[in-house]
Structure 1
Amino acid sequence: MRLKQDVSPVVVVIFRLVVWLYSLISYLPYLLLRSSDLQSFSECSRRVKASSVSGHPSGPYRDVGALRALATCLQPGLNTLDRVFESSVCRFPHFDCLGTRDLLSEEDEIQEDGRVFKKVILGEYRWMSYDQVYKEVRAFGSGLGALGQKPLKNIAIFCETRAEWIIAAQACFMYSFPLVTLYSTLGGPAIAHGLNEAEVSHIITSKELLENKLKNILLEVPRLRHIIVVDDKLKSGSEYPQGISVHSMAAVKRLGAHPENALRQRRPPCASDVAVIMYTSGSTGVPKGVMISHSNIIAGVTGIAERIPNLGEGDTYIGFLPLAHVLELSAEMVCLAHGCRIGYSSPQTLADQSTKIKKGSKGDISVLRPTLMAAVPEIMDRIYKNVMLKVEEMSVFQRTLFLLAYNYKMEQLEMGYSTPLCDKLVFRKVRALLGGRLRVLLSGGAPLSAVTQRFMNICFCCPVGQGYGLTETCGAGTISQLWDYSTGRVGAPLVCCEVQLKDWIEGGYCSTDRPCPRGEILVGGPNVTMGYYKNKQKNSDDFFVDKKGQRWFCTGDIGEFHGDGCLKIIDRKKDLVKLQAGEYVSLGKVEAVLKNCPLVDNICAYANSDESYVIGFVVPNKKQLLALAERRRVRGLWEELCKNPVIEEEVLKVITEMALTAQLERFEIPRKIRLSVEPWTPETGLVTDAFKLKRNELKSHYQNDIERMYGAK
């Protein structure tokens, strides 16, 4: 998608003259220095990346480098997570491992609307070496054992992403304590459900979550006996139900380091043991616990690592996504297995403009300057829209230069060439928003729009590897090759698994479709997990074992394979709604298109099978909506603007134009919308921690509006 230009003819001539001179000067050295075996991006993109093992269009498809056998582990003999970490400690004992910024000061800042935001000033990163982390892991695991935690008995972690999370997890892996992970944004009933179902007696949490969430449901979790708080200082004077003991993480480590406990024999895990019971964020109902073995995680990590070139101790990863999500956990396990260092952050402190960073001070990414990063599309969409808003505020000359450079670089990438001059002169400041050193950006958790993916490739001067995976497949499935600059696809299967297409007749998708075979995506291989915890019916519905003994997971997503072996996600069974007149509408497809609208920060399309049209709930972009209101001379507070029928109608017009430009069918375009005053965050319970829509919760939340838009009395 080419960006529109408001271009002065003189500027165009000057720009193209500079580009022509630069190309002329650099072309001969490029030809002389270019090695004979180096291939351009366009040449690489024509290579076959995966092929059908059976020769049938339904597959199964495998990476061409793994046609003989699927990869199961990083190195021979390293088949459990404790062995993988111990290997890294032996190879990189004095290298930086986990880093956290010091809190220098904290203050309350009153906003114009009267709300109070907490602002912080943070210092430099303070690092622990691999050897230091290993000692902490051993002491903490030993201390948990001294507190009565038994091998193969579940223990829970309910905590924000931080260094202590990984230390606790590695301790549990080392001492064979199956780790039950719970999102820090889950509500009370969901937390109680997970703890009771897993029969947990010990839980690891933070001071904030203990006081604000966990404390309120302790009476609903009768088996709970020990609460371990990762913060150094516990809040004194708090009362807890009888029989529950509260300990600091430091106290547990001291207990574990005592000679009597340190010498106690541990029961090392087996590859087939459950390492994690990962509770999903419940986008379709009550959270389900997915049982993941040591061998499952290692297979997934092996597959992901193979797609990241030159991964090693020189890399720095920024960890800010929820570690209770399989994407972040897998990414950090990849880093720890290869000697990378991990600096911790949060969405509230990530960038200089983040909500908790005091104006004038530095966000985490500016200080850490990572080389590796994983993100969900919601975050990348925000970055894209924020940068484009800044472009609109530039002078005519600056804006013209930026758009010319953007479109020029797009042309060069499509031909397989790099643009060092544009990168240095035009995109340097944009690239600095993510630290300036980023070399790999992995996207997962949901589909990434082609517009945002192209923007990240061009402006941040680093490849975006879009991937596809689920909790049930350890986050591994496919990842696009980093030199593949095509958009809208999720790449070829990883070396740890294979992908097959199953006909879905009701939706009209078949493996015999031309030109691309289509169907429900099935993922098979050693990374496919053991199933759902205490849920036999769901296991039999979603998992099966084939004649060769290989385990498969039925994803419910619809995909198509392209001629080069790359997969594209085109639909989802649960998102398909049949309207009154018989037309099928893919709600996910509609949302993916309309989220590219500058006025839209988030959108949920909704359709009732008894009705003839689609409706939508929209989280508007505040800056864009205020500008629209000013152009239409509509006055009022934010809440009043969102409920104003004139503004609602104007937003609907813009959305409709975007939908028609993207060639959506008329019946797919929302006919009525409702603007949301508040953004949808995991804290509101309307989206998951990966920012996937919780359709049931959104339907309940907007029930009155649904009835109004469908004309119910």
Structure 2
Amino acid sequence: MDYSADLKCHVVPNSKQNGFSPILRSHKSATTLEPTEYKHIKTVYDIFWNSVKEAPEKPYLGHRPYNPQTNQYLPYVFESYKQVGERVSNLGSGIIKVRQMHSDKSKNGSILLRNWPVAIYSIARPEWIISDRALSTQSLFCVGLYDTQGQSQIEFILNHSETPVVICSLDKVHKLLSMADQLPLLKVVISMDSFERVGSNLPGEYIPSPFNTRSIDVLKHWAASKSIGLYDFKEVEEIGKQNKIDHHPPKPSENFVLLYTSGTTGNPKGVVTTHRNYTYSAISNTLSRSSYIKKNSVFISYLPLAHCYEKGQDLLATFTQGCLGFSRGDITKLFDDFQALQPTVYLGVPRILSRLYDTISAITINAPGVKGMISRRGANEKIENLVAGKGYHHSIWDPLIFDKTKAIISKRLEFIITGSAPLEPKVLNFLRISFQSLILEAYGMTEAPIISLGARPEDLESGIAGVPTIGVEIRLRDVPEMEYLTTDSPSPRGEILVRCPSVFKHYHKDEEKTKEVLIGDGWYATGDIGKINPTGTVSIIDRKKSIFKLSQGEYIAPEKIENFLSKHPLIMQSFVHGYSTKNFLVGVIVPDPVTFIPWAKKLLLETANSKENELARLMGFEQLTKNRIVNKNLVEEIDTYSRDAGLNGFEIVKAVYIDHRPFDVESNEILTPSLKLKRFHAAKYYKDTIEKLYS
């Protein structure tokens, strides 16, 4: 590749090394990585209090109160930056105070030394952000818990992080108390929902509450029996108001948040990130998106705040003094919340954007009759204009069709960012013209919570993650075992390495795994395979490890699924595969002839007529593997077997090719000499088969 050409990124001179590509940067970071702007903002604490100072009366956090009298959600109500600031200060003081009240007096000194964790356990809602900001006022740090996490993972995370205080929604209190015997360090639980309002007919609850005053009394007695202090949010705020403690701002190097990865093959890893990591990210993301993110932007929050993607949006909104409206938490009512809020910025995920594509295309380009014909003509003309650089708007087709499709999300919509997994090009461009909005794909990860690669407005192809953002360095390194080399032509290929001040500190209590990915000189090895395109953009093309994502953003550990399938009596070997543009798994199954042949023959004899019975009796192993009825029933057998074992829906193989030829070391070279699956080679060997399974 000609790195001296006029590229969309800056190539650091003399940075090419054997086994590595040159280092790539944003043109805006050609001479220095450190932004010259916002020098006074060094921590997340600074981000929030700078916005309180500059925009005290601007709306900040909003929600839709629930009215139990009408069984309806009301319009959004907002608290200003100043109002939230007062609550944050009070809550921070209150957390320190209640922690002291439920600890040995001998430990009060260590409590005041700060830098201990507080877990937050709920859907995204204003109290999540208020809690997070409150922790920073006292140099405490957050442990993020997903609302949907199971008991075993919650138990592991709270013990692994040594968390003494949990702030949660009311529906989580009994779950925590039920595992209290397994949580010896848990001392305080704080309910985000007011105990006084339980059973009230006054508007204000976030969700229709199944609790009443009696159930609250039961919870309080239960907590007391476990020596756990149980409070509600307002109560702790009032305790803090009456016992004010001066702010104890964190240093940039101190912990900001401990987020746990999904843990598809074992216990999740705790990713320790600092105030410096997330502050640098907020500054870089703001500078890189300054043309699209304005100071009056309206964001909608509906994704888990225990994920770096949503956490990044929270800090971007706060940094730019925007307002953040929270969805009620019911994904089926999400678009009703969009209508009520009318956001200008939307952080999308492929799962929901694909659903929007299906909905909008069904009533436009895929509609029957004249409506469909007119819609297809309008969409084709708008996409041609878009590719030609003429923008997203059209004076005829927008009033006729696409103003209505834009309004499905928001009439004020200006900008969509999507990450997690790539969208197919036809989906991406159709949504661009349907929403009359800029849609950019972005690339980041928990260990480097920054948009490391971001598409530019003119990059209309899906799968192009883009160019390095401001303050980020990217390079590739050879992965010879997968035949990805930085000397490949025309596009160098290899594992993506990221270096910037947003790269995480370490994995909590796991030095070995930390050393595997922090490879020296500040580089983080992502495990993703990328290629550098002739224009200088970088595309994500594969995953180094066996873990990959489907289009809905779910991580898949194929080895785990293959090990599970191998326990089925009909299955001898299996290879599970998926594409990031598809929403389901496919597989190659090598059946065990000892069990498979009698099972398949019995199946055919029971479903066939007398003539076909005779043919079924004569079928050999290879013929049986090619039979459609046998294939269909084996897929059903795998589905039942997987569901009975508790596999997630996205982990269940939906289509299979049955191969009578076993995987081996010599004839098809799918196994290593130690009889392990060579996943990369298997994907190449069965490439055409996989394509047919998806078609």
Q: Same fold (TM over 0.5)?
A: yes
Equivalent position of 2:487 in the other structure: 512
Q: Compare 192-201 and 453-462 and name the one that shifted more.
A: 453-462
Say yes or no: does 1:232 pair with 2:183.
Answer: no
Equivalent position of 1:275 in the other structure: 256
Determine helix, strand or coil for the equivalent of 1:237. helix
Q: Compare 264-273 and 291-300 and name the one that shifted more.
A: 264-273
Q: CA deviation at 1:183?
A: 1.1
Match of 1:389 among 354, 362, 370: 362
Judged with a 3 Å threshold, the aligned counterparts in structure 2 of structure 1 residues 485 and 255 are, in CA distance, closer, same or farther, namely: same
8 Å contact 1:543–1:553 — kept in the other structure? yes
Mapped to 2, the partners of 1:608 and 1:83 lie a distance apart of: 56
Mapped to 2, the partners of 1:607 and 1:708 lie a distance apart of: 6
Mapped to 1, the partners of 2:313 and 2:388 lie a distance apart of: 31
Mapped to 2, the partners of 1:255 and 1:481 lie a distance apart of: 49
Determine helix, strand or coil for the equivalent of 2:420. coil
Mapped to 1, the partners of 2:401 and 2:452 lie a distance apart of: 36
Please give the residue correspondences for 1:458-607 in structure 2 after superposition, counting only pairs within 5 Å: 458-546=433-521, 551-575=522-546, 587-589=577-579, 591-592=580-581, 595=582, 602-606=583-587
Mapped to 2, the partners of 1:412 and 1:493 lie a distance apart of: 27
Match of 2:157 among 176, 194, 198: 194
Judged with a 3 Å threshold, the aligned counterparts in structure 2 of structure 1 residues 47 and 128 are, in CA distance, closer, same or farther, namely: farther
8 Å contact 2:63–2:126 — kept in the other structure? yes
Determine helix, strand or coil for the equivalent of 2:218. coil
Return 5+ residue gaps in structure 1 as ranges. 1-45, 108-119, 596-601, 612-647, 654-670, 688-692
Determine helix, strand or coil for the equivalent of 1:132. helix
One-letter amino acid of the counterpart of residue 200, structure 1: T
Equivalent position of 1:266 in the other structure: 247
Determine helix, strand or coil for the equivalent of 1:486. coil
One-letter amino acid of the counterpart of residue 147, structure 1: V
Judged with a 3 Å threshold, the aligned counterparts in structure 2 of structure 1 residues 209 and 455 are, in CA distance, closer, same or farther, namely: farther
Equivalent position of 1:329 in the other structure: 311
8 Å contact 1:74–1:298 — kept in the other structure? no
Mapped to 1, the partners of 2:390 and 2:533 lie a distance apart of: 24
Judged with a 3 Å threshold, the aligned counterparts in structure 2 of structure 1 residues 554 and 334 are, in CA distance, closer, same or farther, namely: same
One-letter amino acid of the counterpart of residue 322, structure 2: C
Judged with a 3 Å threshold, the aligned counterparts in structure 2 of structure 1 residues 608 and 325 are, in CA distance, closer, same or farther, namely: farther
Q: Deviation string for 1:266-320 (max 9, x for gaps)? A: 3220000011011122234311110000000011112222232152332100010
Please give the residue correspondences for 1:635-646 in structure 2 after superposition, counting only pairs within 5 Å: none
Larger Rg: 2
Match of 2:76 among 117, 125, 132: 125
8 Å contact 1:275–1:294 — kept in the other structure? yes
One-letter amino acid of the counterpart of residue 183, structure 2: V
8 Å contact 1:142–1:256 — kept in the other structure? yes
Say yes or no: does 1:179 pair with 2:160.
Answer: no
Please give the residue correspondences for 1:77-156 in structure 2 after superposition, counting only pairs within 5 Å: 77-105=40-68, 121-148=72-99, 150=111, 151-156=114-119
Q: CA deviation at 1:50?
A: 1.0
Q: Deviation string for 1:332-376 (max 9, x for gaps)? A: 101101110111005525xxxx2x58xxxx811001110001121
Q: Deviation string for 1:135-177 (max 9, x for gaps)? A: 0100000100111263111111111100100000001112100
Judged with a 3 Å threshold, the aligned counterparts in structure 2 of structure 1 residues 75 and 428 are, in CA distance, closer, same or farther, namely: same
Judged with a 3 Å threshold, the aligned counterparts in structure 2 of structure 1 residues 136 and 266 are, in CA distance, closer, same or farther, namely: same
One-letter amino acid of the counterpart of residue 140, structure 1: L
One-letter amino acid of the counterpart of residue 574, structure 1: K
Equivalent position of 1:287 in the other structure: 268
Please give the residue correspondences for 1:680-699 in structure 2 after superposition, counting only pairs within 5 Å: 686=648, 698=651
Mapped to 1, the partners of 2:503 and 2:589 lie a distance apart of: 34
One-letter amino acid of the counterpart of residue 420, structure 1: H
Judged with a 3 Å threshold, the aligned counterparts in structure 2 of structure 1 residues 73 and 544 are, in CA distance, closer, same or farther, namely: farther
Determine helix, strand or coil for the equivalent of 1:330. helix
Judged with a 3 Å threshold, the aligned counterparts in structure 2 of structure 1 residues 72 and 675 are, in CA distance, closer, same or farther, namely: farther
Q: Deviation string for 1:47-93 (max 9, x for gaps)? A: 73313214537121101110111136861121011111111111110
Equivalent position of 1:637 in the other structure: none
Q: Compare 126-135 and 393-402 and name the one that shifted more.
A: 393-402
Mapped to 1, the partners of 2:587 and 2:235 lie a distance apart of: 51
8 Å contact 2:124–2:329 — kept in the other structure? no
Say yes or no: does 1:420 pair with 2:383.
Answer: no
8 Å contact 1:81–1:174 — kept in the other structure? no
Q: CA deviation at 1:377?
A: 0.9
- TM-score, length basis structure 1: 0.72
Q: CA deviation at 1:572?
A: 0.6
Determine helix, strand or coil for the equivalent of 2:295. coil
8 Å contact 1:575–1:587 — kept in the other structure? no
Say yes or no: does 1:62 pair with 2:25.
Answer: yes
Equivalent position of 2:123 in the other structure: 160
Q: Deviation string for 1:555-594 (max 9, x for gaps)? A: 1110011122211110112238899xxxx999343x52xx
Mapped to 2, the partners of 1:407 and 1:391 lie a distance apart of: 12
Mapped to 2, the partners of 1:649 and 1:386 lie a distance apart of: 33
8 Å contact 2:576–2:585 — kept in the other structure? no
Judged with a 3 Å threshold, the aligned counterparts in structure 2 of structure 1 residues 609 and 322 are, in CA distance, closer, same or farther, namely: farther
Determine helix, strand or coil for the equivalent of 2:279. helix
Determine helix, strand or coil for the equivalent of 2:217. coil
8 Å contact 2:576–2:587 — kept in the other structure? no
Mapped to 2, the partners of 1:47 and 1:368 lie a distance apart of: 43
Match of 1:244 among 216, 228, 237: 228
8 Å contact 2:90–2:238 — kept in the other structure? yes
8 Å contact 2:60–2:78 — kept in the other structure? yes
Judged with a 3 Å threshold, the aligned counterparts in structure 2 of structure 1 residues 585 and 503 are, in CA distance, closer, same or farther, namely: farther
Judged with a 3 Å threshold, the aligned counterparts in structure 2 of structure 1 residues 256 and 679 are, in CA distance, closer, same or farther, namely: farther
- TM-score, length basis structure 2: 0.74
One-letter amino acid of the counterpart of residue 407, structure 2: A
8 Å contact 2:476–2:497 — kept in the other structure? yes
Q: Deviation string for 1:178-206 (max 9, x for gaps)? A: 11111111111111111001111111110
Mapped to 2, the partners of 1:302 and 1:381 lie a distance apart of: 30
Q: How many residues align?
A: 559
Identity, % of aligned pairs? 28
8 Å contact 1:466–1:480 — kept in the other structure? yes
Judged with a 3 Å threshold, the aligned counterparts in structure 2 of structure 1 residues 63 and 222 are, in CA distance, closer, same or farther, namely: same
Judged with a 3 Å threshold, the aligned counterparts in structure 2 of structure 1 residues 177 and 564 are, in CA distance, closer, same or farther, namely: same
Equivalent position of 2:297 in the other structure: 315
Q: Deviation string for 1:479-525 (max 9, x for gaps)? A: 11234323221111111211110100011111111111110111111
Judged with a 3 Å threshold, the aligned counterparts in structure 2 of structure 1 residues 345 and 709 are, in CA distance, closer, same or farther, namely: farther
8 Å contact 1:140–1:168 — kept in the other structure? yes
Determine helix, strand or coil for the equivalent of 1:427. helix
Mapped to 1, the partners of 2:82 and 2:659 lie a distance apart of: 61
Equivalent position of 1:300 in the other structure: 281
Mapped to 1, the partners of 2:641 and 2:363 lie a distance apart of: 23
One-letter amino acid of the counterpart of residue 242, structure 1: K
Q: CA deviation at 1:391?
A: 3.4
Say yes or no: does 1:48 pair with 2:21.
Answer: no
Determine helix, strand or coil for the equivalent of 1:534. coil
Mapped to 2, the partners of 1:72 and 1:161 lie a distance apart of: 31
Mapped to 2, the partners of 1:678 and 1:318 lie a distance apart of: 40
Mapped to 2, the partners of 1:709 and 1:104 lie a distance apart of: 59
Say yes or no: does 1:432 pair with 2:378.
Answer: no
8 Å contact 1:441–1:462 — kept in the other structure? yes
